[in-house]
Every structure is written in structure tokens, then in C-alpha cells.
């Protein structure tokens, strides 16, 4: 299944299926992106990152794709498991408004997608 993460939508998939979570980022100058997983009552947990000089990066069961032309990021989870149920956020490292050009940068998060895995 697929989702577009603009309003914290919910993506519901069957256990064992592949999941695709999408994210549109805002700043064409962003050069570093991270996907985080956040379970209920916990802090965000790093999943995978990608730099802007790459268009694909693979981890264990996860793949991140970056399309700089349309400013789009996706997270693919293979063989989704019940333990993958969580909210997923993309984040880009940018200088906040008013701080551009100062070298001061921090992660800014997208709106998130809830992944529900049905057993």
C-alpha cells in the first residue's frame, strides 16, 4: 500500500505485504534526509538516512528513495511486520527561516504517516 504524508494519514497493510510511505519536502537546498519511526509514548527512532548526492539507499528490510526533481522522498518496508506499526516521519536538515546562510541547521519534520499492520 501507499500513502502521501501530508495530514497524518493512515496506511493499513497486511502482515507480509510491502509498505510505501511517501513524503514531500519543502526546501530544494536540503541535502540530508532521515526517516524516523515513532511508537506510542516514545521518542522518534532513526530508521535510515540519505544524502542528496544519492537517489536510493537500502537498509535491513527498508529502502529510501529520493527524487530531487519533484522534492519527494519515500520509505519502502519489505515484508511488513506487526512490530512495524507506528507513525513514520520524514525529516530534512535545513536552516530555519531567518537563519539561512549562517551554518545553523536542524532537522525539520514532515507531518507523518501512521502505519497499521494487520496480522
Partner 1 sequence: DTEVTQTPKHLVMGMTNKKSLKCEQHMGHRAMYWYKQKAKKPPELMFVYSYEKLSINESVPSRFSPECPNSSLLNLHLHALQPEDSALYLCASSQETAMNTEAFFGQGTRLTVV
- C-alpha cell read off for 56: 536510493
Residues 63, 50: Cα–Cα separation, whole Å = 10
Q: Does 51 bind partner 1 (CB under 8 A)?
A: yes
Q: Which of 44, 73, 77, 84 binds partner 1 (CB under 8 A)?
A: 44
- Helices and strands counted in the chain (H then E): 0, 11
Say if residues 55 and 37 touch (Cβ distance below 8 Å): no
Q: Which is nearer to partner 1, 14 or 26 (by Cβ)? A: 26
* Range 63-82, binding partner 1 (CB under 8 A): none
Q: Which is nearer to partner 1, 13 or 37 (by Cβ)? A: 37
CB atoms within 10 A of CB 30: 20
Residue 83 gets which letter from DSSP? G
Q: Which of 26, 27, 45, 81 binds partner 1 (CB under 8 A)?
A: 45
Say if residues 84 and 117 touch (Cβ distance below 8 Å): yes
Q: Which of 32, 62, 63, 76 binds partner 1 (CB under 8 A)?
A: 32
Piece of the chain touching partner 1 by CB under 8 A; list 14-22, 31-39, 56-64, 68-76 = 31-39
- Contact residues: partner 1, CB under 8 A: 8, 31-32, 34, 36, 41-46, 49, 51, 89, 93, 96, 99, 103-112
Amino acid at each position: 500500500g501507499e500513502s502521501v504524508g501530508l495530514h497524518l494519514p493512515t496506511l493499513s497493510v497486511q502482515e507480509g505485504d510491502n509498505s510505501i510511505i511517501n513524503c514531500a519536502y519543502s526546501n530544494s537546498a536540503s541535502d540530508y534526509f532521515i526517516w524516523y519511526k515513532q511508537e506510542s509514548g516514545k521518542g522518534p527512532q532513526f530508521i535510515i538516512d540519505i544524502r542528496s548526492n544519492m537517489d536510493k539507499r537500502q537498509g535491513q528490510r527498508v529502502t529510501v528513495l529520493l527524487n530531487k526533481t519533484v522534492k519527494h522522498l519515500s520509505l519502502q518496508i519489505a515484508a511488513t511486520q506487526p512490530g512495524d506499526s507506528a507513525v513514520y516521519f520524514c525529516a530534512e536538515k535545513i536552516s530555519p527561516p531567518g537563519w539561512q546562510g549562517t551554518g545553523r541547521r536542524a532537522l525539520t519534520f514532515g507531518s507523518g504517516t501512521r502505519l497499521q499492520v494487520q496480522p
